[in-house]
Structure 1
């Protein structure tokens, strides 16, 4: 195999009007069945435009079993139309310098256990970091084989 997923992370903001636990429960809709002990959770305090506190949260996975499980969950929940959209937008969503693919999910939809791809600001962002072992590695084909894009 010439490509592996080296890290998978979710990031989101928790505003003063939101509950941290509600956000984590929503995130669990995308990580069901993974060992929570394998999640690395980091939080940072930010300040919003009007001085309101915002908590920025990143939940990362580096263990292959957890990464594969989450990719299967996400790919099984994406519609064919979503996968086609992600495939057609691959060049805009893939950072070639970092070998990283990004998907932004509507946070409110995830609260309701639905997946909706969006470009809005109230999101849970999925970051898939890939590692290539050859110069000929085809990241788009890899993500297609994983069922994330079409």
Structure 2
């Protein structure tokens, strides 16, 4: 049996961004009934030119499957197909983790769009159970995350 052990959510807020809006984008990908109960850790670092960069991070364990289903509900069929086709690039069999990068801007509007760049919300989905890619894909189909 496969289940979701935890989901880590990580993003950066650059000096040119409003960190409250970035946090709002992150909260938008969470189910409404838990989004205000999640504790976010913030760490301020400094970039190459001394500009502040705030790292926003949380790890969800107790509601991880609920969060994954909610994320799947926010994705349209095109995104699910993209995820299905690119699964081998996103799944680490050794670690049993699925890595997703989604658009911050689209998340602010409540949509999940796969976006492979640096300025994204990163999701690390740690699974428990089988590590066989075909079994993981079957589980993700059942969760509604891939086609």
Cα distance, 1:40–1:100 mapped onto 2, change above 3 Å: farther
Measured after TM superposition, the shift of residue 71 of structure 1 is: 1.5
5+ residue gaps, structure 2, are none
Structure 2 counterpart SS, 1:39: coil
CA distance in structure 1 between the aligned counterparts of 2:30 and 2:72, rounded to whole angstroms: 12
Cα distance, 1:97–1:34 mapped onto 2, change above 3 Å: farther
1:5 has 2:41 as partner = no
Structure 2 counterpart SS, 1:33: coil
5+ residue gaps, structure 1, are none
CA distance in structure 1 between the aligned counterparts of 2:92 and 2:131, rounded to whole angstroms: 16
Instruction: Give me the TM-score of the superposition, normalised by structure 1.
Output: 0.86
1:77 has 2:74 as partner = yes
Number of matched pairs: 146
What is the root-mean-square deviation in Å for CA atoms of aligned residues?
1.9
Deviations 1:24-66 (A, max 9, x none): 2112211132324652422223222322111111122100xx2
CA contact (8 A) 1:34 1:69 kept: no
CA distance in structure 1 between the aligned counterparts of 2:43 and 2:116, rounded to whole angstroms: 23
Moved over 3 A (4+): 134-137
1:148 has 2:142 as partner = no
Instruction: Give me the TM-score of the superposition, normalised by structure 2.
Output: 0.88
